[in-house]
Amino acid sequence: MTDRFDVVTLGEAMIRLSPPNHQRLEQANSLDVVIGGAELSVAVGAARLGLSSSWVTKLPKNALGRRILNQAREQSVDVSRVIWTADGRAGLYFLEAGAAPRPSSVLYDRKNSAASKLAPGEVDWRFLKGVRVLHTTGITPALSESCREATVEAIEAAKKAGCKVCFDVNYRSKLWSPKEAEAVLTPIVKMVDVLIASDAATIWGVEGEPEQVLRELKKRFGIPVVAMTVREDSGVLRTRLSSIAIADKRYKGTKVYDVEVVDRLGVGDSFAAGLIYGYLRGDMQTALDYGDAMAAYKTSIPGDVNYATKEEIDQLVESGENLRIQR
Amino acid sequence: MTDRFDVVTLGEAMIRLSPPNHQRLEQANSLDVVIGGAELSVAVGAARLGLSSSWVTKLPKNALGRRILNQAREQSVDVSRVIWTADGRAGLYFLEAGAAPRPSSVLYDRKNSAASKLAPGEVDWRFLKGVRVLHTTGITPALSESCREATVEAIEAAKKAGCKVCFDVNYRSKLWSPKEAEAVLTPIVKMVDVLIASDAATIWGVEGEPEQVLRELKKRFGIPVVAMTVREDSGVLRTRLSSIAIADKRYKGTKVYDVEVVDRLGVGDSFAAGLIYGYLRGDMQTALDYGDAMAAYKTSIPGDVNYATKEEIDQLVESGENLRIQR
Amino acid sequence: MTDRFDVVTLGEAMIRLSPPNHQRLEQANSLDVVIGGAELSVAVGAARLGLSSSWVTKLPKNALGRRILNQAREQSVDVSRVIWTADGRAGLYFLEAGAAPRPSSVLYDRKNSAASKLAPGEVDWRFLKGVRVLHTTGITPALSESCREATVEAIEAAKKAGCKVCFDVNYRSKLWSPKEAEAVLTPIVKMVDVLIASDAATIWGVEGEPEQVLRELKKRFGIPVVAMTVREDSGVLRTRLSSIAIADKRYKGTKVYDVEVVDRLGVGDSFAAGLIYGYLRGDMQTALDYGDAMAAYKTSIPGDVNYATKEEIDQLVESGENLRIQR
Amino acid sequence: MTDRFDVVTLGEAMIRLSPPNHQRLEQANSLDVVIGGAELSVAVGAARLGLSSSWVTKLPKNALGRRILNQAREQSVDVSRVIWTADGRAGLYFLEAGAAPRPSSVLYDRKNSAASKLAPGEVDWRFLKGVRVLHTTGITPALSESCREATVEAIEAAKKAGCKVCFDVNYRSKLWSPKEAEAVLTPIVKMVDVLIASDAATIWGVEGEPEQVLRELKKRFGIPVVAMTVREDSGVLRTRLSSIAIADKRYKGTKVYDVEVVDRLGVGDSFAAGLIYGYLRGDMQTALDYGDAMAAYKTSIPGDVNYATKEEIDQLVESGENLRIQR
Amino acid sequence: MTDRFDVVTLGEAMIRLSPPNHQRLEQANSLDVVIGGAELSVAVGAARLGLSSSWVTKLPKNALGRRILNQAREQSVDVSRVIWTADGRAGLYFLEAGAAPRPSSVLYDRKNSAASKLAPGEVDWRFLKGVRVLHTTGITPALSESCREATVEAIEAAKKAGCKVCFDVNYRSKLWSPKEAEAVLTPIVKMVDVLIASDAATIWGVEGEPEQVLRELKKRFGIPVVAMTVREDSGVLRTRLSSIAIADKRYKGTKVYDVEVVDRLGVGDSFAAGLIYGYLRGDMQTALDYGDAMAAYKTSIPGDVNYATKEEIDQLVESGENLRIQR
Amino acid sequence: MTDRFDVVTLGEAMIRLSPPNHQRLEQANSLDVVIGGAELSVAVGAARLGLSSSWVTKLPKNALGRRILNQAREQSVDVSRVIWTADGRAGLYFLEAGAAPRPSSVLYDRKNSAASKLAPGEVDWRFLKGVRVLHTTGITPALSESCREATVEAIEAAKKAGCKVCFDVNYRSKLWSPKEAEAVLTPIVKMVDVLIASDAATIWGVEGEPEQVLRELKKRFGIPVVAMTVREDSGVLRTRLSSIAIADKRYKGTKVYDVEVVDRLGVGDSFAAGLIYGYLRGDMQTALDYGDAMAAYKTSIPGDVNYATKEEIDQLVESGENLRIQR
């Protein structure tokens, strides 16, 4: 195995605990356990599409840290750059799956996590030499001061190494305010090659239709590629998914997916993985189409991890949906 | 703690047993257990909205009786007036959750329950002095002859104590016929201050649109406030909820909720709790809006008990729905 | 008990293993177990409607064979003609329940099953004397060479005994190609009295609207009765069901059911059971209406077996849907 | 199928509801469902050993009645003599599985069950002609006055038909007092051919070692065969099982089983089934050895029903225990 | 309801998360949820024995805080003195249930919990006036500096109010070292009226048999009553429980319980609750006997909370064990 | 990562399906899924102890094949040499967990598995150059003729490459007879460096105490190291574990573990992993002690995979058992 990964991602993964059967957390007597975290999900998504990927994070030396690691390894994500620490904790989040009019909701319990203590200087980023894409999201710098610095360090190292940078804004209102996010993310997005801007409007106060928002962001920050998923929710359990991007020209996802929602988490990360897949093939239309197909497929699968196969995604992109039972 | 409760409710709560995952009872190998009962649900709903509430019933001295009591206490409902009995049984009901074209269905096994043996003279109703609302439903007098008498006794005591009486018709065709119900309920509804008449048309043979039904009932029985939920089902798993009332004038719920159904039980009781909340604030528009919001929220929560928080209901009433995941 | 059954069916039943909660097989840590098999499901469906039925198959002498047998016996299906074998295995299939855009999908693991080793000469088909209908499907001859011969043997014996033959095409693309199916099934369908042709178009390359397909098949093969279910899927979890038939004249199902899908398996078999029920009453309109009601009801029930009661189906046919909770 | 069954049993079967994982009923959020009832368990046990058996009872016409029936049919027990009633209920019992020092405990909720309403004249007992053994237990006459009479009616019919009568005392302190039991059972036991007297000492105040108790009962009531299981509990989860009998001479079970308890219910009924099996082969040593093996095997199986195979019991009796994993 | 509680306890309760079926945390896909915390368990145990109890703690204002509160209220524990905070988190602990040679093991995740931020001055301890016993444990001062001070504040207030102080050493090696514990606990134990010293030897380096340890502690710190449970483990799933105390004279538990372990957590707290019950009746023999019975019963019940009834404990103390199934 | 693994193992892994809670397969409504296979378990065990390991097998290209692969990758076992095939199936086995007197039992359904089709020439065994130990078991050659040849091919390649060969007899009576096993295994064991001979007596008809058996096998086949686990079962749920070996001299495990059995599967493989660990450290006493500790720990963990950590095993070996809860 080589270090010249197609994709390297940086960020936290957490133990996700969710009450079964649409229960509220207050009434739960058992919680389902999966592993969730935006950047790990992208690394897994990329691996499912046949790319080689590596994930960089900091994990606590205990059973929960091992549980998280197992999920990454299971999906063939390289973990050789993971840092272990004796005193941090595993970040947790509790997910309540809603139904209209009750939205799904996340209760974070991730303060003082091992990952939030990641600091500049801990990772030798020279290994990005030969890597094709570094991906991270707006969650990582939201975790802590040291994470902010580590994120900038990583992106600067990528630029130096000739590695493209993909960045998903991923605004989390429970972690910071739009204002805080703006201050931290503005210098970052100026460095990125691909920006996924689904939540960008809130932060930079850009108004208008998706296309306008993207055009404005592209212009304001000088970003080569900006993309965005477009959702129309007709309930918590039913949504329509598509996407657009502005690069050399405007692109739109070929299909709009009418999706029956099993699990909303990790959908944006599946979009990112598909987008990177197409971007690395040098074709933005493919990027959106794989992004949309990955996102739509993920929505039908419980957990944050996208257990779609490349064959399934290829077929969805090429032949479109077939909802009849396969037998 | 004082005895001057905002709300006192009277009625039976049962062990509810339901097969998971839309199974039929005939094929079930395990049954989920929750506690259900209209008047307990109203007491809980009121408590969730910040009112003080007490629940009056009769329970069997065994593990099932304790199980029921625990549910009430857990939700801060006062149980100091509960009567214990050595020989009755806990009422049970089996719930099959349907999917179109199969309706959800209840199999009652509540005959000879401890609650059905509640008799006049067992509760010292003078404690209603200072209580603001007594709530009960058409189920209580349907349980037995002695329950009929106890219901009348309670309502008369309330009138005497200056406590308002709220009554939900709650017609149950598996307990009695419309004719039996009419004979028993007619003298009762003439005494009430607030009538929830969602199932009234069947009993009193009043035809027409909801508004007409309410106007007719108000007039016929001289009731100060009559209200009703309005549902349009587009399946077993999808429904639209709203409400109307006639008091000093006609009121309509501000919103119509398009609801993804997780559990249909206890929805009317959540409406009643919200209605009482607004009624006690002296505002019928608030009454309907809290009733509708409580009902819609409940539909998204498994079990009979409404685990909504007051903050969530306030927000739903004030800002309307936001179906995006909260994180 | 007599041997003069209303219905005898011939075919394989399998252990069905499915991950709960829309999980993918790759991520499952437990699998739900039910018994599935087209012809057993028809025998059960017939029994639920009050017909006497017997099921012919070959089962392995082990716990899994007993598990399958138990399901048949539980539903009052006669198993006195079941053949036991010491060395075969129980056929299995893994079912993934999908959600749009991911279809439900079956992974068969049924090769070398005991049932696939059923051979001509093993069953003394003279017991069909006095039986009213023999039912089998296109799956049985797809299992093996010997099963093909056994199927033909059974059908010929039925013809000789004056027993009507009902045959459901049930094309399974994971078992054989349309071409293989055509070669085997063409001589078979020429012998049948009732053909359920829902999947026939693929095999015989007949194009057009359902009615045209049925007319063409009827004419081409000289079949007295041809019928077909008609589905419109608006997702994996929502579908519309109806049916048509051509016999002495054209028939259409009286209702179109808008169905919330709990489990898509066994739906066609429930249609077949209802169809046979009506056919034996000599009324094709009843046949379609019971077929549709059985199919729609089944879709709301987990597992392959239709736990509807005859009373429920009678009521659905006679009074139509009532989606309000029954209590 | 003939009516000349090897064994006919008479009695109630109930829905058994038990909290998983040693939970107490008061804390349970789900309940496991199995079917339990002494006489049904004996009919099943006999069928598992290859005897033909039929079970006589009265069931309510609802989903719970069908659930109970399914269990009997699944195990090949004839149900053609079962009586259906429109207004009774299904008997229930709640089982808490204990661990030392907390004993397992049953909460009965079986009053007014359909079975308790079985009355003389409802069953045409002439069908016992040709039947080899009628089995019932002290539970049936404890259910109600009419059940007492029906029990006597059945036993007298058996005597007349030349059918042997096997009776298990099965004293249940939660149903009646020793004194009541004595009054009712004394005339009954005088008619029986085989008495299983494991709980007899309490009722008739017979003291001493098992052998003395049996000798005394045999003499006092003139019973041809009296038998008894002998247990030594070293905890709730560990017990030692054996048995003795007095017939033409004294018999002792060949082995003492050191048993790891999975489920204590139905163990005595498995003993009875094994005993009847040997008794019908005319060999009391075989009777005790099959009784003990069936009882010991049952203890290792969850639920009331004994899913042992005849091959397993034969091997246990013939070769003794082999605790190594079989692979 | 009055404020003159029999028992007031002070300390943290946590969400306990444990993998089912002896799984390791690293392999778990779901976690069972119960509420655990030494001082809450004592308040509940006291309430189960008929004493009035109140629990003082600090809880976070979120679903997990409510979940914890619900457990207390469910068991009739007064929560009127609970302090709510907007920014703390709910303490968690992960429990792995072992089997020899693998011990059960706890992974704490309780740092920065709301409870750990409890500080002196937040509770108006004058409400201890009229309270009979204040109970807390060595865990509370181990949580934080401010908790140490709050503990001392509470104990001093109790002394002033004439309220007896019961203190359980409860040494937790994962929270602090013996040395740290000694420094903090030494001044505390000098104030207490009843010391439960099961883990005291480690802290104060007192060696020898239980009786010697107790005598030494009593003398060294001048404590009126010192008590201790005595365990002999013959595995993780089997243990023997008894106790001794030194007060006016030496006491020993009347029985030694041979216990089949379902759940080891909360056992010491059940002992404490029983001890307090007897202590308040003024009888140290009763104190030990109720302590032992409560402890032994608890071991058979899953979760931290002791769902024994007073009747069961009375009977165990008075009549001893009866391991036969109760029916 | 390098190819110079400490351990390479060769063999099949299967989907293991087991009914929960000691149910029998015949009564199961769900099955727990884990991955099991002797040689994979050894590779995992070695990895848990810090060795680098690789697993060679043949897997079917479907969801079940991926499920198996995921388990290996999750545990850091290299899978770069795994062969994928389009037409084989995943081997399955059904496990019933017993309780005395019912032994645990395996029902294999592994015929025609992908792994059984592994043939010589498919793996380029030159990669064993630099590998320290090749481990396989008597199961692999029992699978098929081609597997026999592939096994011999691998062992011969190992000898050539200077890689030590460890072989576990692992006799499976459900796969072949002792006679067949003897014919195939005799030439194999003559080549091995370390033989684990726990089941050898049956095959080669060697009688006597473990030590005698080992001495005889060592002499007869000229094997440098022969070892064996020694078990005494006092039930299905309780066993005592130890081991002996003959190398340069006789060794005995330092401790005898009294084990509470959670899961008996994979215990021998954990012994093998520990043995290899010590063997590679050049110390047979360490080999037995780590083998025993790994085996004992595994018995307490559900599933085939040993989720012990190296720290836990080190501590067990060095300090012995501590059964008190760790907190």
Q: Which of B24, B30, B67 sits opposite D32 (nearest CB)?
A: B30
8 Å CB contact of F260 and E174: no
Query: Looking at residue C82, what is its pLDDT?
Result: 98
- F129 shares contact with chain A (CB less than 8 Å): no
Q: For chain C, give percent helix, strand, coil, nearest 5.
A: 40, 25, 40
Residue type, D49: L
Task: For residue range A150-182, list pLDDT tens digits in order.
Answer: 999 999 999 999 999 999 999 999 999 999 999
Task: For residue range D207-261, list pLDDT tens digits in order.
Answer: 899 999 999 999 999 999 999 999 999 999 999 999 999 999 999 999 999 999 9
Task: For residue range B282-327, list pLDDT tens digits in order.
Answer: 999 999 999 999 999 999 999 999 999 999 999 999 999 899 998 9
Radius of gyration of chain F (CA): 18
Q: Which residue has the higher pLDDT, A207 or A70?
A: A70
Q: Is A1 a residue whose pLDDT tops 60?
A: no
- A52 shares contact with chain F (CB less than 8 Å): no
Helix spans in F222-325 (H): 267-280, 284-299, 310-319
Q: Which of E33, E96, E112 sits opposite A28 (nearest CB)?
A: E33
DSSP-derived letter for residue E99 is: B
Query: Looking at residue C2, what is its pLDDT?
Result: 56
pLDDT in tens, chain D (327 residues): 457 999 999 999 999 999 999 999 999 999 999 999 999 999 999 999 999 999 999 999 999 999 999 999 999 999 999 999 998 999 999 999 999 999 999 999 999 999 999 999 999 999 999 999 999 999 999 999 999 999 999 999 999 999 999 999 999 999 999 999 999 999 999 999 999 998 898 999 998 999 999 999 999 999 999 999 999 999 999 999 999 999 999 999 999 999 999 999 999 999 999 999 999 999 999 999 999 999 999 999 999 999 999 999 999 999 998 999 988
Query: Looking at residue A252, what is its pLDDT?
Result: 97
Chain C residue numbers touching A41 (CB-CB < 8 A):
none
Residues of B annotated catalytic, as ranges = 269
- B202 shares contact with chain C (CB less than 8 Å): no
Query: Looking at residue F1, what is its pLDDT?
Result: 44
Chain E residue numbers touching A29 (CB-CB < 8 A):
32-34
Query: Looking at residue D3, what is its pLDDT?
Result: 76
Among E59, E91, E86, smallest CA distance to E73 is for E59
Average pLDDT across chain A, whole number:
97
Chain C residue numbers touching B233 (CB-CB < 8 A):
323-324
8 Å CB contact of C75 and D73: yes
Distance from CA of F324 to the nearest CA of D (A): 19
Collapsing DSSP to helix, strand or coil, E164 comes out as strand
Which residue out of B107, B110, B117 would a mutagenesis test of the D interface target, given it has the greatest number of D Cβ atoms within 10 Å?
Answer: B107
Distance from CA of A71 to the nearest CA of F (A): 7
Q: Could you give the angle at which helices F38-48 and F63-74 cross, rounded to 10 degrees? A: 30
Residue in chain A closest to F80 (alpha carbons) equals: A1
Task: For residue range B36-93, list pLDDT tens digits in order.
Answer: 999 999 999 999 999 999 999 999 999 999 999 999 999 999 999 999 999 899 999 9
Domain boundaries, chain C: 7-319
Query: Looking at residue E1, what is its pLDDT?
Result: 44
Residue in chain F closest to A72 (alpha carbons) equals: F74
Distance from CA of B217 to the nearest CA of A (A): 32
Chains in touch with A (≥3 Cβ pairs < 8 A): B, C, E, F
Distances in whole angstroms, Cα of residue D52 to Cα of each of C273, D7, D44, D55, D280: 30, 6, 9, 10, 12
8 Å CB contact of B26 and D90: no
* CA–CA gap between residue D36 and residue D31 (Å, rounded): 14
Q: Are D121 and D127 in contact (CB under 8 A)?
A: no
Q: For chain A, give percent helix, strand, coil, nearest 5.
A: 40, 25, 40
Mean pLDDT, range B229-258, rounded to an integer:
96
Residue in chain C closest to F70 (alpha carbons) equals: C26
CATH superfamily, domain D7-11+38-58+120-319, is: Ribokinase (3.40.1190.20)
8 Å CB contact of C233 and A324: yes
* CA–CA gap between residue C64 and residue C86 (Å, rounded): 12
Which residue out of C15, C21, C35, C110 would a mutagenesis test of the F interface target, given it has the greatest number of F Cβ atoms within 10 Å?
Answer: C15
Residue count (chain F) = 327
Query: Looking at residue A199, what is its pLDDT?
Result: 85
Residue in chain D closest to C1 (alpha carbons) equals: D1
Residues of F annotated catalytic, as ranges = 269
Q: Are strands C194-196 and C164-168 parallel, antiparallel or unpaired?
A: parallel
Which residue out of E1, E61, E74, E80 would a mutagenesis test of the B interface target, given it has the greatest number of B Cβ atoms within 10 Å?
Answer: E74
Architecture of domain C7-319: 3-Layer(aba) Sandwich (3.40)
Q: Tell me yes or no: is domain B7-12+38-67+76-89+118-319 CATH 3.90.1150.10.
A: no
Distance from CA of E58 to the nearest CA of A (A): 17
Among the CATH numbers 3.40.50.300, 3.40.1190.20, 3.40.190.80, 3.40.50.620, which is that of F7-11+38-59+121-319? 3.40.1190.20
Residue in chain C closest to D76 (alpha carbons) equals: C73
Confidence of residue A2 (pLDDT cuts 50, 70, 90): low
Span between the terminal Cα atoms of chain A, in Å:
38
Residue in chain E closest to A66 (alpha carbons) equals: E26
Residues of C annotated catalytic, as ranges = 269
Span between the terminal Cα atoms of chain B, in Å:
38
Residue type, D60: P
Query: Looking at residue B164, what is its pLDDT?
Result: 98
Chain C residue numbers touching D66 (CB-CB < 8 A):
309
Chain D residue numbers touching C303 (CB-CB < 8 A):
none
Query: Looking at residue B87, what is its pLDDT?
Result: 81
Query: Looking at residue B1, what is its pLDDT?
Result: 44
8 Å CB contact of A63 and E29: no
Q: Which residues of chain F have pLDDT under 70?
A: 1-2
8 Å CB contact of B327 and A22: no
C225: left (phi over 0), alpha (psi -120 to 50) or beta: beta
CATH code for the part of the protein at E7-12+38-58+115-319: 3.40.1190.20
Distance from CA of E35 to the nearest CA of A (A): 10
Q: Which residues of chain C have pLDDT under 50?
A: 1
Contacts of C257 (CB under 8 A, 6+ apart): B100, B101, C240, C241, C242, C292, C293, C295, C296, C321
Q: Which two tokens stand for residue B82?
A: 């509960």
Residues 244..273 of F with a Cβ closer than 8 Å to E: which?
Answer: 257-262
- F112 shares contact with chain C (CB less than 8 Å): yes
- C300 shares contact with chain B (CB less than 8 Å): yes
Distances in whole angstroms, Cα of residue E234 to Cα of each of B290, F294, F312: 59, 21, 20
The complex's ipTM?
0.96
- D30 shares contact with chain E (CB less than 8 Å): no
Q: Which residues of chain E have pLDDT under 70?
A: 1-2
Residue type, A198: S
Residue type, E195: L
Catalytic residue among A269, A289, A292, A304: A269
8 Å CB contact of E325 and D100: no
Residue count (chain D) = 327
Q: Are strands B30-36 and B14-18 parallel, antiparallel or unpaired?
A: antiparallel
Predicted TM-score of the model (pTM): 0.97
Q: Which of B28, B70, B96 sits opposite D26 (nearest CB)?
A: B70
Task: For residue range D185-198, list pLDDT tens digits in order.
Answer: 999 999 999 999 98
Chain A residue numbers touching B258 (CB-CB < 8 A):
100-101, 235
Q: For chain D, give percent helix, strand, coil, nearest 5.
A: 40, 25, 40
Q: Are C324 and C60 in contact (CB under 8 A)?
A: no
Distances in whole angstroms, Cα of residue D34 to Cα of each of C68, D68, D251: 18, 9, 34
Q: Does the N-terminal peptide bond of residue C210 adopt cis geometry, omega within 30 degrees of 0?
A: no
The CATH fold assigned to A38-56+119-319 is UDP-N-acetylmuramoyl-L-alanine:D-glutamate ligase (3.40.1190)
8 Å CB contact of C74 and D76: no
- B326 shares contact with chain A (CB less than 8 Å): yes
